Structure 1
């Protein structure tokens, strides 16, 4: 926090409390790409800076999460694999029902 002399925050007489600005992150964006970003920012009701920052942060988090390593004990790993295999089997069963079931009742899929 910085205190700037000569300005009033309503509590401290003649000082105002403010947060220091972070250093800028500059990038060059070509016309069509910038137009796309501007359109999306308006659609999201955000400034271009807020939109680009939020999108960059989300992409950074996704990238890091995609590379995150986790370790499980053998019993927990077996349980995890069983859940994944069961989930895939149910999804495949639903896909077959959608392709072959004339009434789309899904009754053959819900018996998992």
Structure 2
């Protein structure tokens, strides 16, 4: 009597499927790879009409410096600057924008969303 491994070695792919040894579940509607896609055929037209532009440059990130009494006190006492910034700007982008526009090194950036919907950035400078 032949062992199961010997039977597998002597069979073709179609016979294996009949036995139920090999089966495949196609869970995606597009499961075959066509030859022209594999080769990387050149597209007939560009899929994106124009190159994407940077929506947040340094001039859009920093809107204005906040000049309230509490902000002025922070500037004098704790060497801290307060800016109103764009809502989409992250801490790293705010830090880079302040360095580029005002030549100020910052240690830390704290941000908060004010009740009026604007974002305030508190920058602790060196």
Normalising by the residue count of structure 2, what TM-score does the alignment of the two structures yield?
A: 0.21
- Higher RCO, Cα 8 Å, sep 6+: 2
